Structure formats: structure tokens, C-alpha cells
Amino acid sequence: MTYVPPPLALELASGIKVRDARALAKTITLLESRLSYKKAIGLEVLSVLKIDNSYISRKIAFTGPPGVGKSTLIESVGLSLVKKGFTLAILTIDPSSPISGGSVLADKTRMQRLSNCEEVFIRPSASGKGYLGGITAATLDIMDVIEAAGYDFILVETIGIGQNEVDIKDLVDQLILILPPAAGDELQGLKKGIIEVVDLIAVNKHDGALKKTAELTAMHYGSALSVLTGHKTPVKLCSAKDGTGIGEIIEMMCSYLLSPEERQQKQVHLLDRIAPQEMLEILLQSPPIKRLFAAQKLAMETKESSLKQSLTTMTDYLKSCLEMDKNL
Ligand SMILES: Nc1nc2c(ncn2[C@@H]2O[C@H](COP(=O)(O)OP(=O)(O)OP(=O)(O)O)[C@@H](O)[C@H]2O)c(=O)[nH]1
Ligand SMILES: [Mg+2]
């Protein structure tokens, strides 16, 4: 008997194929859901879509410290892309804890002009569980579903907190680091690891009273970069506010397309990063592990067990489970 997906999944999939924003938003909500039956419908939509998806979106992430102008820059770049006839989706990945919230909620209002464009889909927050740069298996599904909708560009906004750029890099084709004009010779936020993964550094706010400082900053980064890494990461000046330098950024975004092999390599890296956290999540949700964890905590609190003993009990239990499985 051939498998027939549920009607809701089919309906959402056909909506997505014609880029119906409501169908897309609903599917993303399902994919983000912690309720397994809802998530399952989201995954059904994805599998229906994947059967004949041949779209390849250009995926570009904009990262940088809070308030540097990521949303403003995305709006400026986005409006130019729309003018050129491209369709785009904008996604925010918030690496901060879901509890602290982060400032991303205001982004839809900061991209007011873009959110009025029909060709643009904006998803203010596709935040994960709050670790590893906010990327989870659900983020990958969401990117896939947006790609299947056939958007030319997927622009991702994420706050740079150091380590997460390394993960974001593998989620997208290009990573743009936005930095503010900074006084003096500080290389704040420019850790070697980040420089090695970014494709472009844009020093924003190259306007008004900050113009000179921005130029000095860009010059400084330019020379420091070649000394530090030997990498030829381009450093550009721009103003998201008045549009200076935006054309060059767009040119670079349009001229760059990863080969299927490069995309595949990034997928392998993502497996490395995401598989451990997903497996750990499953493990920690399993009832026997939860019970054992709680019992060992209690044993320690009542001084019946030491830290070392509790750790050994728990790891021995896990090993014995795996051992049992091996013998099946
Ligand atoms: N002068 C100047 N101000 C800018 C520029 N780009 C952004 N701003 C201002 O900087 C502030 C922060 O801009 P956002 O675009 O919200 O910055 P963000 O990086 O998205 O901020 P978060 O999402 O909170 O991390 C706003 O007041 C903007 O108007 C620019 O090119 N020049
Ligand atoms: Mg923002």
C-alpha cells in the first residue's frame, strides 16, 4: 500500500510551493514545536516538499555584536535585492537563552519597509534550545522548508557571541561579520577563530560623526587581519543608514555560489556539531535516565553518595545499556 501523507501536510506543502507566507509560517511553527505530534506534521510537509524540490537559495548570515546594525543592514540589502527582482526570506537565530529572550523580537519592526514587501518572508525568531549558536536539527528543517518555497535569498541575522559563528558558517553559504566603528587599537570581538570563518567584514555606521572612526577601524582591521591570520578576508565600509557600500556587499552576495561538494562538506560539519547535542537531548529525556539522575542527586544531597560515586553509577548504567544493546 502506498503511503499517503495527512491532508494538513499536503495542504501546507502546496501552499509553500506557491510561497504562501501563512503556510510557511505555520509549517515553521510545527517544526519548532516541542510536541512530537505537531513536529511530525511539520516533517511530513518537508518530506512532501523534498520529493520535487530543485530550488537552491543563496544563504547568507549576518553576525555581529548587539546594536551594530544587523537588522538595518539586512533591511537595506533586502530592499535592494527586492528592487532587483529577487525574493527573500529573513530568519533570526537567537543564540541567547530562550529565557533571557534577546533583542530579536523587535526585528520585525526594525525591518518595517521589508515586512511590507510581498516578496519577503520574515521570521523573527527561529531560536533553538539556546546552545551551540542556537542551531538545532529544527533550524536545518526550517532552512530546508524555506528553500523549498523557492526564495532566491535566505538572510539570517544572528548576534555574534564568539563561538556561534563557527556553527552558523556551516549553515549558510556566506558569513558576513558586521563591526562597529571602534576607537583605538582594540580588536574586540575579532578572535582568530572567527576571522577564519567569515567571508567578509563590514564596518558599519560609516556616516556622520562616525565616518572617520569607521575608516580608521576598517584600516586597522585590514592590516591586523593579514598579520594575524594571513587570510585575505575583505574588509568593507558601509552605512546601513544612508546606503553607502551596500552595493558592494550585494555584488559579493550575488557573485558567490557554493559548489554541491562545498555544500556537502558543510553538511558533514553540521552533523559533527549537531548530532551530539541531539543525541544528548534524547538521552536526557529518557525516563530511566531521568529517574537515575534524580535518585543520584537525592543520594548526594542526603550524603549517601559522593560526586564521584554518583557519576560512576550513572556512566556505568549507560555503558551497561549500550553493552546490552550490542549483544542483542
Ligand atoms: N549612524 C548609523 N546608525 C546605524 C546604522 N545602522 C544601524 N544604526 C543604528 O544602530 C541602532 C541599532 O541598529 P539595529 O539594526 O537594530 O542593530 P542590530 O545589530 O540588529 O541590533 P540587535 O538585533 O539588537 O543586536 C539603531 O538605532 C540604528 O538606527 C548606520 O549605518 N549608521
Ligand atoms: Mg537586530
The separation between CA 141 and the C-alpha centre of its own chain, rounded to angstroms, equals: 11
What's the pTM value of the predicted model, to 2 decimals? 0.85
- Full set of structural domains in the chain with CATH: 1-52 (no CATH), 55-258 (3.40.50.300), 269-323 (no CATH)
What's the rounded Cα separation, in Å, for the pair 137 and 66? 25
C-alpha cell at 160: 555574534
Q: What is the structure's pLDDT at 325?
A: 64
Q: What is the structure's pLDDT at 133?
A: 60
Highest mean pLDDT range out of 215-229, 231-245, 294-308, 314-328? 294-308
Structural element, H or E, at residue 155: strand 153-159
Q: Please report which confidence band the pLDDT of residue 126 belongs to, taking 50, 70 and 90 as the band edges.
A: low
Q: Which ligand 1 atom is the nearest neighbour of the CA of 72?
A: 15
* CA 70 / ligand 1 centre spacing (Å): 6
Tens of pLDDT along 140-156? 899 999 999 999 999 99
- For the sheet containing 235-237, what is the strand order? 120-123, 88-93, 153-159, 58-64, 174-179, 200-203, 235-237
List % helix, strand, coil for the chain (3-state, nearest 5).
Answer: 55, 10, 30
Q: What is the structure's pLDDT at 102?
A: 43
The separation between CA 106 and the C-alpha centre of its own chain, rounded to angstroms, equals: 18
Q: Cβ–Cβ contacts within 10 Å for residue 327, how many?
A: 5
How far CA 7 is from CA of 10, 40, 48, in Å, comes to: 5, 13, 11
pLDDT, mean of residues 101-119:
67
Least confident of 8-12, 89-93, 225-229, 251-255: 225-229
Task: Encode 19-37: b = buried (16+ Cβ within 10 Å), e = exposed.
Answer: bebebbebbbebbbeeeee
pLDDT, mean of residues 105-133:
70
* CA 316 / ligand 2 centre spacing (Å): 46
Between residues 135 and 62, the one the model is more confident about: 62
* CA 323 / ligand 2 centre spacing (Å): 48
* CB contact at 8 A, 72 and 109: no
Q: What is the structure's pLDDT at 164?
A: 63
* CB contact at 8 A, 89 and 123: yes
Percent of the chain with pLDDT strictly greater than 90? 52
pLDDT, mean of residues 244-260:
90
Q: Whose CA is nearest to atom 12 of ligand 1?
A: 67
Q: Return residues with CB closer than 5 A to ligand 2 (ion).
A: 70-71, 107
Q: Please report which confidence band the pLDDT of residue 326 belongs to, taking 50, 70 and 90 as the band edges.
A: low
* CB contact at 8 A, 121 and 24: yes
3-state DSSP assignment of residue 138:
helix
Highest mean pLDDT range out of 9-23, 131-145, 313-327? 9-23
3-state DSSP assignment of residue 224:
helix
* CA 231 / ligand 1 centre spacing (Å): 28
How far CA 196 is from CA of 61, 192, 229, 244, in Å, comes to: 15, 6, 7, 26
Least confident of 22-26, 62-66, 191-195, 247-251: 191-195
What's the rounded Cα separation, in Å, for the pair 193 and 208? 32
pLDDT, mean of residues 105-129:
72
Q: Please report which confidence band the pLDDT of residue 168 belongs to, taking 50, 70 and 90 as the band edges.
A: confident
C-alpha cell at 324: 546490552
Mean pLDDT (the chain, rounded): 84
Q: Which ligand 1 atom is the nearest neighbour of the CA of 242?
A: 31
Tens of pLDDT along 30-86? 998 888 899 999 999 999 998 776 778 999 999 888 889 999 999 999 999 999 999
The separation between CA 196 and the C-alpha centre of its own chain, rounded to angstroms, equals: 18
